[in-house]
Structure 1
Amino acid sequence: MIPASKGGAVTALIGFAFFASHDAVIKALGGTYSTFQIAFFSVLLGLPLVMLMLVRDTTPGTLIPRRPAWVAARTGLGVVTGFGAFYAFASLPLTEVYAILFAQPLLITALSVPILGEKVGPRRWAAVAVGLIGVMIVLQPGATQFSLGHLAALTAAITGSFVSVILRKVGSEERSAVMILYPMLANLIVMGALMPFVYVPMPMPDLGMLMLLAVLGFAGTLGLLVGYQRAPASIVAPMQYSQIIWAVLFGLLFFDESPELLTIVGTAIIIASGIYIVMREEGGGNTVARPVTTSRTMRGDTALGMRTGDIIRLLSRGKSAQRSDKE
Structure 2
Amino acid sequence: MSVTQNTKLGIWLMVGTTLIFAVQDGLSRHLAGTYNVWMVVMLRYWFFAAFVIALVSRSPGGIRAAVRSRMPKLQMLRGVLLALEICVMVLAFIALGLVESHAVFATYPLLIAALSGPILGETVGWRRWLAIGVGFVGVVVILQPGYGVFRVEALIPLAAALMFALYGLLTRYVARTDAAMVSFFWTGTTGAVVMTAIGIWHFEPMTPGDMGWMALLCMTAALSHWCLIRAYEVAEASAIQPLAYLQLPFATLIGLFVFGEELRLNVAMGAGIVVAAGLFTLWRQHVKSKRPV
Q: Flag whether TM exceeds 0.5 (same fold).
A: yes
8 Å CA contact 2:13, 2:227 repeated in 1: yes
The separation in 2 between residues aligned to 1:193 and 1:4, in whole angstroms, is 41
- What is the CA–CA distance in structure 1 between the aligned matches of 2:107 and 2:45, rounded to whole Å? 25
Where does structure 1 lack aligned partners over 5 or more consecutive residues? 287-327
Residue 4 (structure 1) shift? 4.2
Kindly indicate whether the alpha-carbon contact (under 8 Å) linking 1:233 and 1:282 is maintained by their aligned counterparts in 2.
no
CA distance in 1, matches of 2:242, 2:218: 24
C-alpha contact 1:26 1:90 (8 A) present in aligned 2:
no
Gaps of 5+ in 2: none
Q: What RMSD over aligned residues (CA atoms) do the two structures have, in Å?
A: 2.4
For the pair 1:115 / 2:109, whether they are aligned, the reply is no
What's the counterpart of residue 73 of structure 1?
Answer: 77
Counterpart residue number, 2:247: 243
Q: Secondary structure at the match of 2:67?
A: coil
> Which residue, 171, 176, 193 being the options, matches 1:172?
176
- Residues 27 and 89 of structure 1 are in contact (CA less than 8 Å); yes or no, is this contact kept in structure 2? yes
Counterpart of 1:304 in structure 2 is none
Code of the residue aligned with 2:218 in structure 1: it is A
Q: Is 1:162 aligned to 2:170, yes or no?
A: no
- Pairing partner for 1:99 from 93, 103, 112: 103
2:92–2:156 contact (8 Å) kept in structure 1: yes
Alpha-carbon distance between aligned partners in 2 of 1:196 and 1:283, rounded to the nearest angstrom? 47
**Kept after mapping to 1: 8 A contact 2:49/2:189:** no
State the distance in 1 between where 2:175 and 2:267 align. Answer: 35
The question of 1:146 aligning with 2:151 is answered yes
Distance 1:242 1:67 in 2: 33
Contact 1:61 1:175 in 2 (8 A): no
The aligned length equals: 284
Report matched runs for 1:146-295 at 5 Å. Answer: 146-148=151-153, 150-176=154-180, 178-195=182-199, 197-285=201-289
- Match of residue 315 from structure 1: none
TM-score (normalizing by structure 2): 0.87
Structure 2 counterpart of 1:104, one-letter code: Y
Give the CA deviation at 1:116: 1.2
CA positional deviation for 1:123: 0.5
Indicate conservation of the 8 Å contact 1:138/1:263, yes or no: yes
Contact kept, 8 Å, 2:9 with 2:234, in 1: the verdict is yes
Change (3 A) 1:35 1:147: farther
| Contact preservation (8 Å) 1:63, 1:177 | no
Percent of counterpart pairs with the same letter?
A: 29
Matched, 1:124 2:128: yes
